[in-house]
Structures are given as structure tokens and as C-alpha cells.
Homo-oligomer: A and B are copies of this chain.
Amino acid sequence: MINDSGQGKEQGDRPLPLLMVDVVLLTLVSGQLCAGLTLRSQENEPYFGAWCLPGGYVHPQEDMDAQDTARRVLRDKAGVSSPYLEQLITMTGAARDPRGWSASIVYYALVPEHIAPQSSERFRWEPADDLMRRTLPFDHTSMLRVAIERVRSKTSYSALPIHLMPEEFTLSQLRSVYEQILGGKLEPRSFVRRMQEMDVLQETGKTRTEAHRPARMYRLKSDRSMALLGPSLLIK
């Protein structure tokens, strides 16, 4: 139940849990899947000077909900405006942050390379594969792992990677992004079929010529911004 007898006591005598939002911001930097990191600059705080996922406390007066917080964090810490943004998982517990019991609502965001911010003193991109083997502050490595797993999973049955593409792109380019994320080669023929079935691409009419036969260019169909699940078990 939302209320219970312990609540008043909790709020009065004991420290309340901290509520924050962290964001796994992903893009492709020259074909490689990378995550955005920000520099922890506050002194007297844990992990001062370390690089970690962009995050911040919920500001109840400012943010209508946690997705708002995620957007604000991305804007302030990474200079990213309106990416694809989806809630991923909430990490909780007494042990994950030395400042006390905390809950971090984790989102992941996808931005196309041409919108991705430049690296600076307080922000940089790092290949996701490298980061997953390294140790990030707090439980940020777990967050990254879950995000990559989710992106890979969705990539295998949806058109999610389109959110990593520029406005217009060729099928080859899209396929190579899929290959990069999934970590293997894809059959061009099967790939085309899948894209057609999903019915999410729209020809622009233009073509892109790069040294050989020009490739048709596509964009995301206006309405169709999301998924499509696999076949149903149901008969008829």
C-alpha cells in the first residue's frame, strides 16, 4: 500500500533514500558504439575526478517526472536535446552509493552521430566494449551492461538502431550499424526482407554515390517510430 505506519517515522527521524537519474547515452563514433561519460567535479564527494555516466538528482519543482530529469541531465551535462529516451532499470540499495540508501532510475538514450556532442574537458565518448571491461564508479558498469544488452536485444527484433542514423541513410549503412551492434555479419538479402516486413522505412528518392553504384536513401516513416515483436504462439 502506498501509505503505511512506518512512513512518518521514516521521514522524520531517518534519512530518506536519495533519488537520482543516470543515463546511458549511446551513439556511433565512426561506426563504433560508444557511451558518453562526464567528469565528476565536486570535491568532498565520492569518486571525485572520475569519469562516469551522466546523472543527477531529481528536482521535484523542475521535473514533472524522471524522464524530465533524464532530459535535463542530458541537456546540462552532455548538451544533447531530444534523443530517443527509454527507461531501463532502477538500481537501488544501501550499498551502491557511499552517501547512503539510494535509488537511481536508469534511462538509455540513442543519438545519431551528427547530433552527438563533441568531446570536451567535462564530456567524452568511450567505446562501449572497452567500458564494459573497465570499472566505472558506483554501479555504472552494470548499468552500461544492461543498456547494451537491451539495445542488442531490441536490435535483433526491431528497428531501434534507426535512432542512431542520420535523417537519411542507405540500407548498407543501416545494415552495418546492425552488424556493429550485434557483433557479426548479416545477410543483405535477409536484412532487406526484415526491413520491408517491419515497414518502417520510406524512400526519399535521392541516392548516395560513393565510388560505385549509387544506393537509394531512406528515412524513418513519419508515424512508425517503434518496434514490432516476433511471431505469436497463438493459432489463427
Contacts and interface: CB of A to CB of B under 8 A. Distances in A.
A218 B94 CA distance: 40
A15 B61 CA distance: 10
A178 B182 CA distance: 31
Contacts of A186: 233-235
A1 B7 CA distance: 29
Contacts of A178: 233
Interface stretch (A26-34, A100-108, A127-135, A205-213): A100-108
Contacts of A232: 156, 182
Contacts of A55: 1-2
Contacts of A164: none
Nearest to A2: B55
A151 to B, nearest CB: 13
**In which size bucket is the chain A interface?**
35 or more
A61 B232 CA distance: 45
Interface stretch (A85-93, A112-120, A166-174, A196-204): A85-93
A177 interface: no
Contacts of A103: 19, 58, 66, 103, 105
A230 B178 CA distance: 17
A184 interface: yes
A75 to B, nearest CB: 13
Ranked nearest first, the 9 interchain pairs of A and B with the lowest CB-CB distance are: A65-B93, A60-B101, A66-B92, A184-B234, A90-B90, A65-B92, A3-B45, A4-B56, A7-B57
